[in-house]
Structure 1
Amino acid sequence: MLTLPPAVDAPVVDPVTLGTILAILYLIADWGIRIVLIPVVIRRHRIGEALAWLCLIFFQPFIGAAVYFVVGRNVLGRKRIAQHDHAARLVDTHEHRLNQREHAPNPDEIPQNRRDLVRLARSLGRMPLVRGNDAQFIGDTQEFIRQLIETIDSAKHHVHLLYYIMRRDDSGERLCQAVERAAQRGVHCRILLDGVGSRTALEVFGPRMRKAGAEVRAALPVKLLRRQFARIDVRNHRKLAIIDGHIAFTGSHNACDADYGKTTVGEWVDLTARLTGPIVYQLQLTFLEDWVTETGEVPNDPSMFITPEYTGDLPMQSVPSGPGERSEAFHNIAVSAINEAEHAIIMTTPYLIPDEPSVLALRLRALAGVRTVIIIPEKPDQRLVAAAAKAYYEELLQAGVEIYLFQGGILHAKTFTIDNSFVLFGSANFDRRSFRLNYELNLLMIGAPVVKALHAHQMIYKSQSRRLTLDQVEAVPHWRQLMYHSAKLFSPVL
């Protein structure tokens, strides 16, 4: 007769013991994250950025580690750096590339006290100052869209569009139709849209434009499973259109309606320059670098490399900036421009998140008696950024900086006028994201006429603003000031 062995009871885990094990494992992971990440953060980031990350990692290790993994590591991955370097080499060595030195202005056309800024912009942006240009500023969004579509409809050879945002709205639809018409009549259309800012447009308009014959690519596409970039929040923030190598549009306008799909904050007030002259050739090179980075090839299209015509007497140079070789080009030029001011600085920006050098430059110029004016929206579209910006108001006002809060919606134009001498204008905000993270495109323009033209727009913005006083800032309740300064702690990573 078969005898079964006696039953053995399953081991019972003491709930107290299990809880203790889990608590120990949690404690090990909690402190392990701190121990591992602290030296990494200290080594890779500047002091202000490191302190912000350390605060988050120390108080919330698991959340801090997850956020740092997504947006805190190196700006670019190795593959992206290699792609960009390869693109720059292909464009720089292309057989049709123009010798831009032939279009350099005479030395006496540039004031003696501004020549070092021009040299700095050349060194950082790798583009020389060229003469013979014309610039017409366009403030109204519908007028900008109308002129852009009209120019696309007249294109004979090529249309190049590079935009951070293209929305599925009336303006986006009309631009899409204009590209379709151009492509169908044989014009080479190359459309480069940011992979995050224009995600919906790439999904909806992209297939339509491709069907018509246009080439459409995503700039900095985000791939969650296999990313080419170390940070998914690094974006191509440039706004640029080039038609037939003769006409270019660049500034702060995106390819969308004036409300940007955010009806609760009012219309966005942008500014774009319509450009002709040798500067268009420089902007073409910037577009091609971005295009080659995404495609790996320089288009075989001689019409892109035409000899530019002189259309005015405005000296200017493009200042592309972004991660890699041109890292912090805009930041360094902006700080240098502020330091060179002798009489007046007027700046407009939608976001005011300066770093220590830029705050110091603004304060010292104001303390030296230079009239320093900053015009920003009273109600920006991003609450945390707005709270962090308010933490800088008091020290700027104490130094004598004038701050005006725009009442007519979101002031999105990014402008600098310095004395009666030069202009810095383009896509970059006066914040740390534009300083160090995003790909931006700005222009340095020299001369009193262009300063006068841009100053007229700045005065319109100022007339629609209220002046902020130091008494008003000091009257803010202490708990709210504490909230602003708490947000300021994270300004290095906003």
Structure 2
Amino acid sequence: MENVHQILAIAGVFIYWLFLGAIALRLVIKRRTIGVSFSWILVIYFLPLVGIIAYILFGELHLGQTRASRSKAMFKPYGQWFAALYQHPLHTPERQSEHARAISQLCDTQLGIPSLSGNQLNLQHTPSDILNAIIKDVEQAQESVTMEFYIWHPGGLANEVAKAVIAAAKRGVTVKLLLDAAGSRTFFNSTWPSQMRAAGVTLSQALSVSPLRMFFRRLDLRLHRKIVVIDNRTAYTGSMNLVDPRYFKQREGVGQWIDVMVRMEGPAVPLVNAVAAWDWEVETSKRCLPAPPGLPINTPENTPESDSLVQVIPSGPGMPEEVIHQVLLQSLYQASRKIVITTPYFVPSENLLDALVTAAARGVDVNIIIPQKNDSTMVKWASRSFFAELLKAGVKIHRFRGGLLHTKSVLIDDEHCLIGTVNMDMRSLWLNFELTLAVDDKVFSQSLRNLQKGYIENAEQLEYKRWQRRPLYQRVIEHLFYLFSPLL
């Protein structure tokens, strides 16, 4: 019996090291960034068994066989839909600024999605303005309402949006809601889903979570987009989930969440709607590609001097890898005068860190605005591990005191901006389903500049010498989380 136990023990150790070797070999073959590979090797070798299980669950970017097959079949029809827009009269590459031209060419190559001019954008930055505007547009909807959110949390004005959605469905408007299963767990456990379905709302969970699914799809893959489209004519996207901050995460001790949304009209709206249609088809297998954009109606407000040229940039599994990461890098390297970044979760890639340090070294005024208090302990400490290098290079770091700053934006030279759902961390850049708008419009960029200026005025600016005097135990914790930052 003792010999049997010894044989089993030896076999178990052999199988365990075989697994370790196989995973290490796969990390080498996949040719991920050195930081990501190194972090996973640390996990699997220093967390016995737990590390292997963690890699199996979270180490591979697999969408699941059904969704992956469905996505592959969708490439051709969606590609044809987007390709036709290159002949649209409002595809005007000759009007692009130098900032926009390089990004547009990158998206042409990687995504096959053109930029379109003739859009009217409105930057909204208070919860009441955002939610009341959505309510008003839903109340005026005549044909369709499509919503897609990571989080829908009941309470306050979020309930008024739900009532408006139910009323629209009852009067015959086609209403579709796609909500992330994990992010909107509280909503799905409430009475709202049954009320909505009873009224005729088509409601679907994205990326459902269950113990069985973990063997077929990566569990931490999430639908992080925030999209509202009304009648294929008006759209919203940005950083705000469908929540009223007064009723959301009040016990976290970080204050109310601070967000923005962009309300848009014009030819870019059907592109945003097509992204939502893609997600809907991946989840439900039902195709609902929208009508392509028509020509704008000539009005005093719709003139070449006042419109915005917009590049819609989706990302996520099934789409070209790293596209938003590449756009971010391109934007940073093009900056000649000023960069202002707002992000709640700052865990940059090695390339992004180099781009920020390099920009500061060549005299660009680089500003990063992050919340002073964060709802993620791991991200907080990992983020802090980058501060010394950035501050030493001349990058200005501002810690916002007015709540959890959740706005995701990049402003380049006060003229060109990126705004949407993407955090500056690995999860947003390489994993989740995200959406960013690249906006080439000095007027809109000025609105964002004014908003960012307000953030900075309500923030503490870190000083390098003072930061260097922080306690030793904090440095140890920072360095520990730095090792795992490529996985956060």
Q: By the TM > 0.5 criterion, same fold?
A: yes
Within 1, Cα distance between the matches of 2:156 and 2:37? 43
Q: 1:308 to 1:65 in 2, by over 3 A?
A: farther
The amino acid across from 2:268 in the alignment is: I
Question: 2:420 — aligned with what?
Answer: 426
CA distance in 2, matches of 1:262, 1:63: 33
Shift of residue 171, structure 1, vs aligned partner: 3.3
The aligned runs of 1:280-319 (5 Å cut-off) are 280-299=269-288, 304-305=291-292, 307=294, 309=296, 311=302, 312-319=306-313
Instruction: Classify 1:387/1:229 alpha carbon distance in 2 versus 1 (closer, same or farther; 3 Å).
Output: same
Alignment of 1:11-50 (within 5 A): 24=10, 27-28=13-14, 30-44=16-30, 45-50=32-37
Give the equivalent residue in structure 2 for 1:126.
112
Higher mean Cα deviation, 31-40 or 210-219? Answer: 31-40
Deviation at 1:30, TM superposition (A): 4.6
Deviation at 1:119, TM superposition (A): 1.1
The question of whether the paired residues in 2 share the 8 Å contact of 1:97 and 1:305 is answered with no
Report the Cα distance in structure 2 between the residues aligned to 1:68 and 1:113, rounded to whole angstroms: 39
- Native 8 Å contact 1:125 1:318 kept in 2: no
TM-score (normalised: structure 2): 0.92
Counting aligned pairs with the same residue, the percent is 31
The correspondence of residues 300-449 of structure 1 with structure 2, limited to 5 A, is 304-305=291-292, 307=294, 309=296, 311=302, 312-449=306-443
Question: In 1, Cα distance between the equivalents of 2:359 and 2:346?
Answer: 17
Partner SS, residue 256 of structure 1? coil
Relative to 1, partners in 2 of residues 1:74 and 1:320: Cα closer, same or farther, differing over 3 Å? closer
Query: In structure 1, what is the Cα distance between the partners aligned to 2:480 and 2:214?
Result: 32
- Report how far residue 421 of structure 1 moved: 2.5
CA distance in structure 1 between the partners assigned to 2:20 and 2:266 by the alignment: 55
Q: Is residue 264 of structure 2 the alignment partner of residue 275 of structure 1?
A: yes
Segment of structure 1 superposing worse, 197-206 or 45-54:
197-206
1:109-144 C-alpha deviation (Å, 9 max, x unpaired)? 223464222211333343211111111111111221
Amino acid at match of 1:328: E
Counterpart of 1:251 (choices 196, 220, 238) is 238
Indicate yes or no: 2:236 matched with 1:242. no
Q: Alpha-carbon deviations, 1:172-220, whole Å to 9, x = none?
A: 3222211110000000001111121112323432222111111111122
Report the more deviating stretch, 379-388 or 193-202. Answer: 193-202
**Offset at 1:77?**
3.2
- Taking a change above 3 Å as real, the CA distance of residues 127 and 451 of structure 1, as seen in their structure-2 partners, is same
Alignment match of 2:457 (pick from 451, 458, 463): 463
2:468 maps to 474
Q: CA deviation at 1:83?
A: 1.4
* Within-5 A mapping of 1:189-208: 189-204=175-190, 205-208=192-195
Amino acid at match of 2:186: T
Distance in 1 between residues matched to 2:216 and 2:138, nearest whole Å: 33
- Counterpart in 1 of 2:54? 67
Aligned equivalent of 1:4: none
Name structure 1 gaps, 5 residues minimum.
1-12
CA distance in 1, matches of 2:369, 2:224: 21
Report whether the alignment pairs 1:104 with 2:121.
no
What does the per-residue CA deviation read over 1:215-234, in whole Å, with 9 as the maximum and x for residues that have no partner? 11112222431458531111
Q: Counterpart of 2:149?
A: 163
SS in 1 for 2:402: coil
Which shows bigger deviation, 445-454 or 96-105? 96-105
What is the root-mean-square deviation in Å for CA atoms of aligned residues? 2.3
Structure 1 residues 239, 65: CA separation in 2 closer, same or farther (over 3 Å shift)?
same
Change (3 A) 1:155 1:218: same
Superposed structure 1 runs of 4+ greater than 6 Å apart: none
Contact 2:158 2:243 in 1 (8 A): yes
Q: Mean Cα displacement is larger for which, 114-123 or 432-441?
A: 114-123
User: Does 2:251 match 1:265?
Assistant: no
| Long gaps (5+) in structure 2 | none
Instruction: Report the CA distance shift for 1:472/1:19 in structure 2 as closer, same or farther (over 3 A).
Output: farther
**CA–CA distance in structure 1, aligned partners of residues 373 and 394 of structure 2:** 23
Number of residue pairs matched by the alignment: 477
1:131/1:35 Cα in 2 relative to 1: closer, same or farther (>3 Å)? closer
Cα distance in 1 for partners of 2:333, 2:139 equals: 44
The amino acid that maps onto 2:349 is D
CA distance, structure 2, for counterparts of residue 410 and residue 81 of structure 1 = 35
Please state how far the C-alpha of 1:278 moved relative to its aligned partner: 0.7
Partners of 1:110 and 1:342 lie apart in 2 by 17
> Is structure 2 residue 72 aligned with structure 1 residue 85?
yes
Structure 2 CA distance for partners of 1:213 and 1:306, relative to 1, 3 Å: farther
TM-score normalised by structure 1 residue count: 0.91
Q: Distance in 1 between matches of 2:294 and 2:214?
A: 39
SS of the equivalent of 2:153 reads coil
1:211 aligns with 2:198: yes
